[in-house]
A and B are shown apart, each in its own frame.
Chain A
Amino acid sequence: MNVRVLIVGGGPAGLTAAAALAPRVDGPVLVLDRERTMGGIPRHSDHPGYGLRDLRRFISGPAYARRLTDLAAAAGAQLETEAMVTGWASSHAVEVTSPRGRRTMTADAVVLATGARERPRPARLIPGDRPDGVYTTGQLQNLVHLHHAEVGRRAVVIGAELVSWSAVLTLREAGCRTVLMTSEFDRPEAYAAFHLPGRVGLRVPVRTRHRVVAIHGKGRVSGVDVEDLRTGKRSFVACDTVITTGDWIPDHELARLGGLTIDAGTLGPRVDAGLRTSAPGVFAAGNLLHPVDTADVAALDGRHVAAAVLDHLAAVPRGSSAPGAVEVVVDAPLQWVSPQIVEPGGPGPSRDRFLAWTTVFQRFPTVTATQGGRVIGSVRLAWPAAPGRVFRIPFSVVRDADPNGGPVHLSVTGRRESTVSGTVASPG
């Protein structure tokens, strides 16, 4: 079977890409998703907070998922659920399993929009017993919102970022009290930006610079050991549920199986500003590229990727190997940046922003771009750099890069640099 554009993953990124492409492509645009319904993670994230930047609304996850599905269908895209892409048959053909059969799909362009997941307990190497009652937020929300299943009564939530508060909300809805949140950072990652805890009156004790070092329980969780990272002191906290939140990793299996170049920072495919991967005709969008940003930003990736896909279909010659492309790398405490390849003077990334991740909180950060040791740009930002959520950097900071000058380094400092003149950008 043959389509013009195949989009793997029907979350916000994939559906929005489909809606943008279907009216402009001379042939079928097909979205495959392995779940029973389209929509990706928002399907089971049943609280308001979706759609701000892409739809200019503030709606719940399920409503958002339905709306994006309707928009893609109305635009003429074909949407197929319970269809899992399990591997590649060739560079432009994938293998698909669905109740309708096992088949190979060939496409002129492939967009990977497979999202990201939270690292579960084993991947975090949390030792101890292996009882029931330890979930990621994703599993918790599936349990509560889709299956109306019971969870426990007393939960410890590991992590204090945006998604962690989403977990607390879900627990509360399921009648489970969050007795403790732990964060290894010295402030709750999400406090500065996320007003939800205040707004909904969630009073949850948060222990910063603490880590869960053991889980106890036979059959069901009975409690956790929590260590104070400053003193090494340990204490036992009784609970019957543990939620491991955040600590994202892209769902990069197909990207890796397809031999795409993987970025060592994001662990997703390396892309240029047009969201082209290292394989011609293969594109990527959404949280696969930046684990993780909010759904609206993932969706806007989907809109953004359309231009490069259309160019490819029209055989407009260019690509990540085009002359004039420079690599963007980050210095600590930044951990990754997306996209990683840009053309100075060329089109910018989605929303003209780099997305980056930091491990240190800086209330008034200045981002500096250097190339070959020379400062080529600097910008002082009006929003903080905070662990646990994406840090946005204006594309303009690399505007003056030399196309032949080698990699551009992005670094962030907390104090105001007086030697370089910076512009103050506004949040968004």
Chain B
Amino acid sequence: MNPPLTCDVAVIGGGIVGAAIARRLGGTSLSTVLVEGRDDVGDGTSKANTAILHTGFDATPGTLESTLVARGYHLLSEYASATGIPVERTSALLVAWDDEQLAALPGLCTKAEKNGYDECELVGPDEVYRRVPDLGPGALGGLTVPGESIICTWTTNLALATDAVNRGVTLLRGRRVVAVDDGSLTFADGSSLRARWVINAAGLGADKIDNLFGYDRFTVTPRRGELLVFDKLARAKVPVIVLPVPSKVGKGVLVSPTIYGNVMLGPTAEDLTDRTATGTSAAGFSFLRSKGADLMPSLLQEEVTATYAGLRAAIDRNDYLISLDASLRYVLVGGIRSTGLTAGMAIAEHVAGLLSPHLDVAPRPDLPAPPRMPNLGEAFTRPYQDAALISADPEYGRVVCFCERVTRGEIRDAYASPIPPADLDGLRRRTRAMNGRCQGFYCGAEVQALVSSRGEASSYGDASSPGDASSRGDVSSRGGASSCGGVSSRGGVSSRGDASSRGDASSRGGAR
């Protein structure tokens, strides 16, 4: 076994929050390691949310969450333009369906102002139906939130993690922390890491890590949110995010366009005990369909393209729980329930602020430019539409996934990127391949072949061609070298061979 690795700071959790923190610390002179228990970054709650870039208009005024969501909104908006994370400025409309909800709207407007957001506007039913003509009958009025936007949560997570790696952070995937002992982290595979400081951004697992540091201050309750994604042909019906008026029971069910050009209905809110229960349920589906029937009956005529469920890391208090323990050299970043996509970069800034008395977190000069991310947004030009790109490289004209119009060039690029996909789901999050209405009827086999060959074209037409097998072998080793070899030499830390261990199904199962 390799000798233990060492670093200044270890960040546990490769979700949006951990990736943002690692990116921030990667920009200092500290050596930083980002540790993720799963085989890929962004494979936890950060992959399955409603992907709204929140203004923070409805946060509880005075909370840390309120401050960080508002700040994160601006930070992420700017970062999105710099990196090409797709954002659509759709705006949102809260719709009141009964007198009680109608009466609540002015209060929400005032609350928004207390949160520093003063662009909300009360509108009557005519204006509500002018904005969303397909809405079901019975809307009494609404409140506009012009700044609410939709964003790609997958690209956000990946951009932050890629940026971190480019800045010299060592990314360890497939390393679940199982023990902490005086600055030393032990992973499920038996290897370990020594770190002067540890930052716990483990999302649903944050309370368990906190326990390993000897604390017993909170419990994460996985709060499941199920969602239905409707066909792109429904997109025109939903030009804005249609929000319910929040009640005591939670934020309620919304109808929203997605950045990929679909329509989303959800989420449900259900407290569970199993932290891996990301399955969907018959009860969830029928609840959503009955909600949908009221909100927008014609939506239910459209096909469902996907269903999924995410788990919010709910805790028993009404704010984020971010706290530094100087004696243990440990920072907890917990309870980032339903706004962490938006707030992630501001949380990173806040954590850097907490660390500054103890560590030199000043930005170092000559940082690399932020990465340019492939565009997954339907509203912006994609490779298949780009004549100049295709004539320069015909692989961008070779459509593999027809429903989502993903080209072989994009799949190849994903495997050549600093953080290549670990499996089919990882490829889906990087390219949209197989996320469309046919779910693989046409392209599933081809995409799977590209996953096995790590992006190299398959050639089933002449399966016996001897060039086939050898070229595949070549690519997978190339992929392996670029995925971890490059990173590890940079960070001065040797990580286990990503590519080889990935092929091993049993170890992969264990890490999940």
Say yes or no: B279 contacts A129, CB within 8 Å.
yes
Known contacts A36-B461, A97-B397; decide if A119 and B303 are in contact (CB<8 Å).
yes
- Interface residue? A203 (CB, 8 A): no
Contact residues, A272-304 vs B (CB, 8 A): none
Residue of B nearest to A99 (CB): B394
Q: How far is the CA of A127 from the CA of B437 in the complex (A)?
A: 17
Docked pose: A97 CA to B395 CA in angstroms = 11
Q: What is the total number of residues of chain B having a CB less than 8 Å from a CB of chain A?
A: 48
Instruction: Give complex CA distance A223, B285 in Å.
Output: 21
Contact status A86-B405, CB under 8 Å: yes
A56 at the interface (CB under 8 A from B): no
**Contact among A82, A127, A139 with B285 in the assembled complex (CB-CB below 8 Å):** A127
Chain A: minimal CB distance from B437 (Å): 8
Q: Is the interface of B mostly helix, strand, loop or mixed?
A: mixed
Is B249 interfacial (CB 8 A cutoff)?
no
A142 touches B444 (CB 8 A): yes
User: Shortest distance in angstroms between A5's beta carbon and chain B's nearest beta carbon?
Assistant: 23
A199 in the interface (beta carbon within 8 A) = no
B193 to chain A, nearest CB (A): 26
Q: Are A136 and B440 in contact (CB under 8 A)?
A: yes
A381 to chain B, nearest CB (A): 32
Asked whether any CB of chain A lies closer than 8 Å to the CB of B442, the reply is yes
Chain B residues within 8 Å of A147, by CB = 445-446, 448-449, 458, 460
| Interface status of A176 (Cβ within 8 A of chain B) | no
Q: Does B385 contact A (CB under 8 A)?
A: yes
B contact residues around A97 at 8 Å (CB): 384-385, 390, 397, 399, 405
Q: Does A79 contact B (CB under 8 A)?
A: no
- Once the chains bind, are A99 and B308 in contact (CB under 8 Å)? no
Shortest beta-carbon distance, B267 to chain A, in Å?
Answer: 15
Kindly identify, within residues 396 to 417 of chain B, every residue whose CB is under 8 Å from any CB belonging to chain A.
Answer: 397-399, 402, 405
User: B4 → chain A, closest Cβ, in Å?
Assistant: 30
* A105 close to chain B: CB less than 8 A: no
Residue-wise interface mask of B (290-309) relative to A, using a CB-CB cutoff of 8 A (1 in contact, 0 not): 00000000000001111110
In the complex the two chains form, is A117's CB within 8 Å of B441's CB? Answer: yes
Given contacts A86-B385, A127-B284, A136-B439, contact A102 B303 (CB under 8 A): no
Interface mask (B370-402 → A, CB under 8 Å = 1, otherwise 0): 000000000000001111001100110111001
Asked if B458 contacts A130 (CB within 8 A), the reply is: no
A331 within 8 A of B: no
Give bound CA distance, A124 to B400, whole Å: 24
- How distant is B277 from chain A, measured CB to nearest CB, in Å? 9
Q: Is residue A138 within 8 Å, beta carbon to beta carbon, of the partner chain?
A: yes
B424 within 8 A of A: yes
Min CB distance A251 to B, Å, is: 8
B512 touches A130 (CB 8 A): no
CB neighbours of A128 from chain B (8 A): 279-280
Residues from chain B with a CB closer than 8 A to the CB of A59 are none
A220 to chain B, nearest CB (A): 9
Using Cβ atoms and an 8 Å threshold, which residues of chain A touch B439? Answer: 120-123, 136
Give the nearest-CB partner of A146 in chain B: B460
Which residue of B279, B405, B461 contacts A130 across the interface (Cβ within 8 Å)? B279
Partner of B282 from A36, A121, A127 at Cβ < 8 Å: A127
Can you give 27 A-B contacts (C-beta < 8 A)?
Answer: A86-B405, A97-B385, A97-B405, A98-B397, A99-B395, A100-B397, A101-B391, A102-B384, A117-B438, A117-B441, A119-B303, A122-B229, A122-B306, A123-B304, A125-B285, A127-B280, A127-B282, A127-B284, A127-B285, A130-B308, A136-B440, A146-B445, A147-B445, A147-B460, A148-B460, A148-B463, A218-B509
Sorted nearest first, the 3 A-B pairs with minimum C-beta distance are A142-B445, A120-B439, A99-B394
